[in-house]
Chains A and B, each alone.
Chain A
């Protein structure tokens, strides 16, 4: 199952290395990681999309992360109301004649063209991963020359409607 986990970390040197090393040592299947600074100085946030077999493996994932000295807080936000976005840039092969056609495809996705050359066009899209996947699939038949994705970043919405509790580590309470 796919889960979105965030970790708030104390931004000291080595923390990224420690976290990613841990995930590979413990054989977690990571789909994406994104990292960046937060509103608080010295604190960064990592967002992981992981594919885990079961609850137990998921629990281990959070616990092992939590155990790191510089990790301040770990949350599984998959089942919460969240805003999640990633950015992708896609260089698609196009003849000048196809440009209009492509424009029509990307428009509903609110993607934008950020670079054009004789035989290609680069499109930028922001959104949740499903939306990004969907657009990429539509562009694929034209020939993808280059594709780069930032990985998902996410946080919970200001207001949680039907608050599905973030499953706490049962042992901590």
Chain B
């Protein structure tokens, strides 16, 4: 191909004059991109001009801050399992995206992020709005590119989508110098990709599958741990068959919730720092732990020295580097979770000799359920979350921010279906929850989407209320308002002798008026009568709403494994 900055002779100008940005747009259309979360600026002006020309090809969502846009793209990706597409300008546009990129990396969410860059001939001169996007994003991306030549652009876009969405998903950044998006080119360029170093292993090794089956048959105390990998694999049905083939008890990581029905009689609840007694004791006492698509994060394992001390560990993960990283693993299975489960399900089911164990777990479940205080008037946050479940029949897409409310949502909003739970687990990003709900609602127009947020975190990205106003998206924002950075306050209460250093915030905006300022309905609820009477209607109408729920500030999330403790050393297991 010939690239030139000169327009071609006049005759066939109309049909053929395209810029690098048009190439990008064509590549996005080819990738079947429907939604773009983007924010314009100098270095992406040529791209925005091409988007203008391609009017109608995409739904372009304009957040009010790039961070809001990228969290929305994450919510979109989590619910649709398709890559979220993000555009930001160079310099501050790109740096505003960083938190979202790091978040997506930690939680393995497929994103393709296009950043504008200053023109190639001034890169490295501290040009206006230049930032070293490659340098900054290398450690927080699955891969990143800077386009050096117009000819590479279609191939790179193609590769970027492939890398983001296959294997272990993750964010891919494509940095595009402005002169490249502005360059006029004359004919089609090839876009086949060339990735000799990238071939994720998606099929399990049959020997390891057999080993797992033998281990299962020999096990007296088996337990399955579900992680987000099952959701990425779309493996829920295969998992259900596997579990029923051997009648196995199941627990989950925070991000694996929904992979297995929360109301199933063999489900023990979430495990980990704020997991249930039954789940954590099952991990502690089991003799065979089958981790499917979880990465043994420290919030899940607690002190590794006390983690599953008597268990043989089997681990199914698409990323070989996760296997054996934190926990020595006897039966490693590098595979897509669904493909591995399908293989397991091809084998003859077996009746295990584990009646005693199953009974014990059942009695743990009965004797040590999640508990919370009771109230006749003031709102307890746990009660609120149970009501949200009830009013939405457990069918809503629930997004959360980070903090106590997030844990209560995990504990009390029982998820029975996959891809309904959107939360920031690995990075724990405050400000994630509400914009993620916007992306989730865009991906799933028909479901009720509820954003459960703290009064602290909501204030980090609440400007995105503009998007609800602009689009009439019926997202319901429930502010679990304890007038505090609750999770911090809880740690200060427990581990710092109640020295509440900068964690109580009694100065707040009037959230109802804020909502109204954005043309939304705002509600304030201060007692359970109001919740019982009004919340159901609000959650079930088709309008956006901001619901400021005043909850008891002193409530703590229990049970809890204190930092450094083992999973059997929970505090707050039963009522004091």
Binding site for B on A (CB under 8 A): 9-10, 13-14, 17-18, 21-22, 25, 56, 59-60, 63-64, 66-73, 169-173
Give the contacting residue for B320; candidates A63, A70, A73; CB below 8 A: A63
**A-side binding surface: helix, strand, loop or mixed?**
helix
Q: How many whole Å from A77's CB to the nearest CB in chain B? A: 19
A100-B424 Cα distance, complex, nearest whole Å: 70
Pair B320/A171 contact, Cβ less than 8 Å: yes
A72 contacts which chain B residues (CB < 8 A)?
Answer: 196-197
Give the contacting residue for A172; candidates B138, B144, B197, B201; CB below 8 A: B201
A173-B319 Cα distance, complex, nearest whole Å: 14
List the one stretch of B324-332, B378-386, B513-521 in contact with chain A. Answer: B324-332
Give the contacting residue for B139; candidates A25, A60, A171; CB below 8 A: A25
- 28 A-B residue pairings within 8 Å (CB atoms): A10-B195, A13-B146, A13-B148, A14-B134, A14-B144, A14-B145, A14-B146, A17-B134, A22-B139, A56-B328, A59-B324, A60-B321, A63-B320, A63-B321, A67-B319, A67-B321, A68-B197, A69-B163, A69-B198, A70-B143, A70-B197, A71-B197, A72-B196, A169-B320, A171-B208, A171-B320, A171-B333, A172-B205
Q: How many whole Å from B536's CB to the nearest CB in chain A? A: 48
Pair B205/A17 contact, Cβ less than 8 Å: no
B334 within 8 Å of A (CB atoms): yes
A25-B102 Cα distance, complex, nearest whole Å: 14
Q: How many whole Å from A139's CB to the nearest CB in chain B? A: 39
Pair A14/B138 contact, Cβ less than 8 Å: yes
A10-B163 Cα distance, complex, nearest whole Å: 15
Pair B139/A21 contact, Cβ less than 8 Å: yes
A25-B333 Cα distance, complex, nearest whole Å: 26
Pair A64/B321 contact, Cβ less than 8 Å: yes
Q: Which of A22, A67, A170 has the most CB of B within 10 A?
A: A67
Pair A56/B198 contact, Cβ less than 8 Å: no
A63 contacts which chain B residues (CB < 8 A)?
Answer: 320-321
Output the nearest chain A residue to B332 by Cβ-Cβ distance: A171
Q: Which of B195, B324, B332 has the most CB of A within 10 A?
A: B324
B135 contacts which chain A residues (CB < 8 A)?
Answer: 17
Output the nearest chain A residue to B141 by Cβ-Cβ distance: A18
A171-B208 Cα distance, complex, nearest whole Å: 8
A124-B210 Cα distance, complex, nearest whole Å: 57
A71-B145 Cα distance, complex, nearest whole Å: 15
A60 contacts which chain B residues (CB < 8 A)?
Answer: 321, 324-325
Binding site for A on B (CB under 8 A): 134-135, 138-139, 142-146, 148, 163, 195-198, 201, 205, 208, 319-321, 323-325, 328, 332-334
Please name the 9 residue pairs, one residue from A and one from B, whose CB atoms are nearest each other, closest first: A171-B332, A63-B321, A72-B197, A69-B143, A69-B198, A71-B197, A171-B334, A67-B321, A10-B197
B142 contacts which chain A residues (CB < 8 A)?
Answer: 69
Pair B334/A69 contact, Cβ less than 8 Å: no
Q: How many whole Å from B21's CB to the nearest CB in chain A? A: 22
List 20 other contacts, CB 8 Å, given A13-B148, A25-B139, A67-B320. Answer: A10-B197, A14-B134, A14-B138, A17-B138, A18-B138, A21-B138, A21-B139, A56-B324, A60-B325, A67-B319, A68-B197, A69-B142, A70-B197, A72-B197, A73-B197, A171-B205, A171-B208, A171-B324, A171-B333, A171-B334
A170-B9 Cα distance, complex, nearest whole Å: 62
Q: How many whole Å from A138's CB to the nearest CB in chain B? A: 42
| Contacts A60-B321, A171-B320, A172-B201 given; does A10 touch B196 at CB 8 Å | yes
B198 contacts which chain A residues (CB < 8 A)?
Answer: 69
A21 contacts which chain B residues (CB < 8 A)?
Answer: 138-139
A72-B198 Cα distance, complex, nearest whole Å: 7
B201 contacts which chain A residues (CB < 8 A)?
Answer: 172
Output the nearest chain A residue to B319 by Cβ-Cβ distance: A67
Output the nearest chain A residue to B143 by Cβ-Cβ distance: A69
| Contacts A14-B144, A67-B319 given; does A173 touch B205 at CB 8 Å | yes
Give the contacting residue for A69; candidates B139, B197, B323, B328; CB below 8 A: B197
Q: How many whole Å from B147's CB to the nearest CB in chain A? A: 10
Q: How many whole Å from A62's CB to the nearest CB in chain B? A: 9
A86-B160 Cα distance, complex, nearest whole Å: 38
